[in-house]
Amino acid sequence: MDFSAFLDGFALVAEPHNLLYCLIGVLIGMIIGVLPGLGPAATIAILLPITYTIDPVSAIIMLAGIYYGAQYGGTITSVLLRLPGEASSVVTVFDGFALAKQGKAGTALGIAAIGSFVGATISIIGLTLLAPVVASVALDFGPPEYAALALLGVLLVATIGSGNKLKALIAGAVGLLLATVGRDSFSGASRFTFDSLQLADGIDFVVVAMGLFGVGEILYNLEQRHGKPHVPAKVGNVWPSRKDLKQSSGAIGRGSIIGFVLGVLPGGGATLSSIVAYATEKKRSKTPERFGRGAVEGVAAPETANNAAATSSFIPLLTIGLPANASMAMLFGALLILGISPGPQLVDEHPDVFWGVINSMYIGNLLLLLLSIPLVGIFVKILRVRPAILAPITALITILGVYTINNSVFDIFLMIVFGVIGYLMKKFGFDPGSMVLAFVLGTIIESSTRRSLLIFDGDPTGFVTRPISGAILAIFVVVALLPVFRQVHRRRSEPAGVEPPTSVTKV
């Protein structure tokens, strides 16, 4: 690791304007996390046009702050309203709201803040040490390796997540199809443009992102929250007792490791990490019956894990150029808009961006710890804002933002179309994140595959004979066949002649 570049990154972040953007980012992130339904991916998508007018380092620092700041903001609604502001905070609802009903909402929020800070800090240290190593190894990557890695990324998005696997695969397939719209970069032939000049250059990533996440989330959130008033629970002392800290220490340590490891995987991220961390603590506990009834470990473990995962997901983005989740896909698009290509060359070509983003997280997470507890009262008031007031303001910002990209009315209509698609996807259980990730990775898959075939003179076995790409494709096959193996094993383990149960009795 280049320590001089690392120290220069701290000096860059310490500049007043970068500190200000870091503070703005974490504040917006916390507020967005508090508002159920919007989310960091939608917010980053809405703010992408603003990055045109900001210094690249400052812009990425702010957008990164929005992402990891939202992880804690979602905790507040999970504890006070039993309403997760983020998907990664769903597990926190189980014990967080139970503690709130016992008058310990402050304890739950305090433990969550401490766990989030510890998990994120450990993950940032791992990111600092590991990212340059991964970047140096990634220098050996060529088109075949990138094609195999991007293909594996699309599969992992569908198979690792906790949602419906078939629906995730369908959404990913649609995303891959959308990535082919426009002129063929190799032959110049038009594909799926329907003789429209506006589609000749392809579909703009920002339009897709702002439609699916911005407009789509607004419509879905309005429907879900219409006529459902929520009264937040009262918050008492936010400082956890020594007993609570002792009970949570093991959960925080294990959650940090689980979050860091799973955050690196495409499709893993904060949501899966929080689920695995919670399940681990419940399995290890000598009194598992406490979980779901107000166990502080049930808050500490998932909150630590999701913040650790939010940080470690920057490793594949910055070092390989592979976004691990929907929010990383938004940051990937922001970097491209700013003329910066994420990948192994980033640490050498743009060390200010590479180390500026990483080092800003040290300061950003400290700001989160300092701000999260004192600002709880303000966030409770924000929860009382009616969606009917908030939605039109957000929609107006979204429309103005997408128009300023190309000064194109066509982009506005296209964004509205994707907004309706995003709303329908959420309504029928399809994850828009899978489509956006596949849309981003689809371009990498196509260009890298075709370049590889040119290198191999059209022989596809070249993908297998190269060590790295061959190993990645072997992992792809294992992951693809894993559900089949599980199904076969489940059938073999069932006693012969025993009918499967027709109903499930709740315990």
Residues 6+ apart with CB under 8 A from 414: 198, 203, 207, 211
| Inside any domain, residue 182 | yes
pLDDT digits over 144-159, tens only? 887 887 888 777 766 6
Q: How far apart are CA 249 and CA 368, in angstroms?
A: 20
| Ranges 28-32, 107-111, 372-376, 427-431: which has the least confidence | 372-376
* Residue 375 buriedness (CB in 10 A; 0-12 / 13-18 / 19+): middle
pLDDT digits over 185-207, tens only? 777 788 888 888 888 888 877 78
Q: How far apart are CA 63 and CA 111, in angstroms?
A: 26
| Inside any domain, residue 506 | no
Does position 401 have pLDDT exceeding 80, yes or no? no
Token pair in block for residue 267: 């499709």
| Inside any domain, residue 359 | yes
Among 104, 78, 108, 80, CA closest to 93: 78
| Model pLDDT, residue 83 | 62
Does position 36 have pLDDT exceeding 60, yes or no? no
Does position 161 have pLDDT exceeding 60, yes or no? no
Q: 145 is in which domain, residue-wise?
A: 3-224+237-491
Percent of the chain's residues with pLDDT above 90: 3
| Inside any domain, residue 356 | yes
Does position 313 have pLDDT exceeding 80, yes or no? yes
Q: How far is CA 17 from the centre of its chain?
A: 26
208-230: burial string, b at 16+ Cβ within 10 Å, e else: bbbbbbbbbbbbbbbeebeeeee
Question: Residue 102 CB: number of other CB atoms within 10 A?
Answer: 13
The enclosing H or E element of 191 equals strand 190-191
Does position 87 have pLDDT exceeding 80, yes or no? no
Q: How confident is the model at residue 507 (pLDDT cuts 50, 70, 90)?
A: very low
| Inside any domain, residue 505 | no
Give the count of domains, the chain: 1
Could you give the dihedral angle defined by the CA atoms of residues 346, 348, 351 and 354, in that order, rounded to the nearest 10 degrees?
30
Q: How far apart are CA 399 and CA 84, in angstroms?
A: 27
Token look-up 């309203």 returns 81
Average pLDDT in the chain: 79
| Inside any domain, residue 387 | yes
| Model pLDDT, residue 267 | 55
Please list the residues that pair with 182 across neighbouring strands: 191
Percent of the chain's residues with pLDDT above 70: 84
Q: How far apart are CA 30 and CA 32, in angstroms?
A: 5
| Inside any domain, residue 7 | yes
Q: How far apart are CA 295 and CA 303, in angstroms?
A: 13
| Model pLDDT, residue 279 | 82
| Inside any domain, residue 243 | yes
